[in-house]
Amino acid sequence: MNPDALERGLAWLASLGHPLVLAPNLRVRTGYLAGSDEQRLGDLLELVRNPDVAVIFCARGGYGVGRILRRLDPAELRAARKLVVGYSDETMLLAYLHRLCGLVSLHGPMLERDDIPPEARARQAALMRGEPAGLGSLSGKKLRGGRVEGTLVGGNLKMLEASLGTPWEVDLDDAILFLEEVSEAPYAIDRSLVHLRESGALERVRGVALGQLVGCESTRYPGASAEEAVREILGGAVDGPIVEDLPFGHVADHRALGFGVRARLDGDRAELTLLEPVVEVGI
């Protein structure tokens, strides 16, 4: 974790006018983890149980949330009704909250990303407060036309694939699926999408919204394209609209999305629009 970037992220969050409650092990590191499983689980539960905490804002994605999910109590999380903000590795936590707790979350930039432009942070803050300004459409490029509405779920491709077969497997029934990825070779993206297809998961979605594929080039196979793999596999597995190059993912201009909210995907206009807020009452 970049301590200077974290401090700038905390300063931005404090500037929204809300007091901050920092997890005790926020800056701990154990190998490739942000502390031991017990430390990270304890921090999460401490924030869940704190009545003064309305939003749990993840510092960074990293790795490890899947190691502690089985030790959570869905009933406790459902009763606490905290808004969780994160993406990347946090995709599995968002899927857990939606599938097992019936809660919506905010898929958006975390605190360590201090290069997020003001417009993206403003959208994120508006969604956190339940303000209409957060519901503006995102524009991309058309791959297939059509217009559908459904529950918006998704996030990092590898994390969604990893949820298959678990109790918190992402719920894709009549969903609009949004996807992004970072630092995966085209063949690895191909493999993950084929797994989603062959599991039957993609048969249930109404449309697909594709964000950014960052650093997904191949040094071994220079002519290979992650984008082409996505177009080929999704184009044959999904009947509804598909829009690519939307502004979310591991990029600076990462526009926040509600995980579990109603949304509209318009393939003809190449737009993704949230139809309801992430929170009913602003924090």
Alpha carbon separation from 37 to 32, 42, 135 (Å, rounded): 12, 8, 36
State how far the Cα of 104 lies from the Cα of 118, in Å rounded to an integer: 24
User: Considering the domain 3-134, what is its CATH architecture?
Assistant: 3-Layer(aba) Sandwich (3.40)
Percent of the chain with pLDDT over 70: 98
Q: Which one, of 167, 164, 240, 166, lies nearest residue 201 by Cα? A: 164
Kindly report, residue by residue over 145-190, the tens digit of the pLDDT: 999 999 999 999 999 999 999 999 999 999 999 999 999 999 999 9
Banded model confidence at residue 141, pLDDT cuts 50, 70, 90? very high
Banded model confidence at residue 281, pLDDT cuts 50, 70, 90? very low
Banded model confidence at residue 195, pLDDT cuts 50, 70, 90? very high
Choosing from 112, 180, 181, 271, which is the catalytic residue? Answer: 180
| Domain coordinates in residue numbering, the chain | 3-134, 136-274
Kindly report, residue by residue over 214-255, the tens digit of the pLDDT: 999 988 888 889 999 999 999 999 999 999 999 999 999 999
Choosing from 88, 105, 163, 192, which is the catalytic residue? Answer: 88
Q: Tell me, yes or no, if the pTM score tops 0.75.
A: yes
For the question of residue 180 being annotated catalytic, the response is yes
CATH class of segment(s) 136-274: alpha beta
For the question of residue 250 being annotated catalytic, the response is yes
- According to the model, what pLDDT value does residue 280 have? 65
Does residue 1 or residue 172 have the better pLDDT? 172
Banded model confidence at residue 113, pLDDT cuts 50, 70, 90? confident
7: part of which helix (H) or strand (E)? helix 3-15
Same fold, 3-134 and 136-274: no
Banded model confidence at residue 18, pLDDT cuts 50, 70, 90? confident
Choosing from 98, 107, 250, 254, which is the catalytic residue? Answer: 250
